Amino acid sequence: MPSDRKVSPKGVARGKRKAAPEPKPKVKAAPKVKRKAKVKAAPKAKRKPTSKRRSQVRPEPFSDADAKSIVVLGSTSAMARATAGEFAARGYNILLAARDQEENRTIAADIQVRFGVETAALPFEAEDFGSHEAFFTECRRILGDSIEGVILCFGYMADQTDAQADFAKVHRMVDVCYTGAVSILEIVARHFEERKRGFIAVLSSVAGDRGKQGNYLYGSAKGGLTVYLEGLRNRLFHAGVHVTTIKPGFVDTKMTFGLPGLFLVASPDKAGKAICKAILKRKNTAYVPFFWQYIMLLIRHIPEWQFKKMRM
């Protein structure tokens, strides 16, 4: 039962715009600590720095060596932001990595103020594979041994019809959703494997469960990612490292803004809560919201001779 429900680029349903889109987590907020939490990437400068100078500021290592911390990749995603908030509410320090550093620093400052944890903002470009090793070295310099997990949220979906006519769009989808993810995750996996501790959680998609004419180009990149994560989970299990594959259905974010035919659209906040819960429960695979597992079970079981006649 598809609906034409429009969703806004800020992740808020039209007509239901709220003043404060972030949820008040039900979980007990991080205990009020006396230590001064700092947004590491934006120290107060005596004169207004240029954007070039600001981007060159290296965050200092987190001061609370006892606290756990996580890295969120693609932190400007509404789902990533909500998930980061859930972890911060549980007392985790957060390193946020994204392309847009202005936006990223704002998110870091917001989380630090609301939850009293330490935050840092770093630039990260999924398609710049050669930069990933140095990026993760920088994460380790800032987080030290406190790094508990990495949550990968970045992704890119082009319109299917546009992508069929323009291979550059397909190339980008595969580079971001699959190759970029594998590039950084192999580096993270080596570190956690050596340390014999940690978790990796990745936002794949229900689109990767079965190829459909409506989005098989994006879906195949996510499907490849899902299979990669199965193998990675198998490999890292033997080192005590857990891998969670998250498969969101439709979530109200800038990725789905204005798309026709969306139904059962979840808010990023609801998704963030479910993602955090699935990671902490060490789920192997989690559909978000949960009912997508039943929808996809049905879709996967439609016989191919019938499925190919359908227009999905």
Ligand X SMILES: NC(=O)c1ccc[n+]([C@@H]2O[C@H](COP(=O)([O-])OP(=O)(O)OC[C@H]3O[C@@H](n4cnc5c(N)ncnc54)[C@H](OP(=O)(O)O)[C@@H]3O)[C@@H](O)[C@H]2O)c1
Query: What is the Cα–Cα distance from 204 to 232, expressed in whole angstroms?
Result: 14
User: Residue 14: is it exposed, middle or buried by C-beta count within 10 angstroms (0-12/13-18/19+)?
Assistant: exposed
Q: Does 112 bind ligand X (CB under 6 A)?
A: no
Give me the 159-198 binding string for ligand X, x by CB under 6 A, dash otherwise. -----------------x----------------------
Query: What is the Cα–Cα distance from 242 to 229, expressed in whole angstroms?
Result: 11
Closest-CA residue to 122 (of 186, 136, 67): 136
Looking at residue 38, its amino acid is K
Closest approach of ligand X to the CB of residue 63, in Å: 27
Give the count of residues interacting with ligand X (CB under 6 A): 27
Q: Does 78 bind ligand X (CB under 6 A)?
A: yes
| Near ligand X by CB under 6 A: residue from 135, 136, 156, 228 | 156
Residues 6+ apart with CB under 8 A from 37: 112, 116, 117, 118, 119
| Near ligand X by CB under 6 A: residue from 149, 155, 219, 289 | 155
Query: What is the Cα–Cα distance from 14 to 5, expressed in whole angstroms?
Result: 8
Query: What is the Cα–Cα distance from 242 to 283, expressed in whole angstroms?
Result: 9
| Near ligand X by CB under 6 A: residue from 154, 178, 228, 287 | 154
Q: Does 205 bind ligand X (CB under 6 A)?
A: yes
Give me the 24-43 binding string for ligand X, x by CB under 6 A, dash otherwise. --------------------
Query: What is the Cα–Cα distance from 16 to 14, expressed in whole angstroms?
Result: 5
Q: Does 100 bind ligand X (CB under 6 A)?
A: yes
Q: Does 203 bind ligand X (CB under 6 A)?
A: yes
Closest approach of ligand X to the CB of residue 44, in Å: 26
| Residues of this chain that bind ligand X (CB under 6 A) | 74, 76-79, 98-100, 124-127, 153-157, 176, 203, 205, 248, 250-251, 253-256
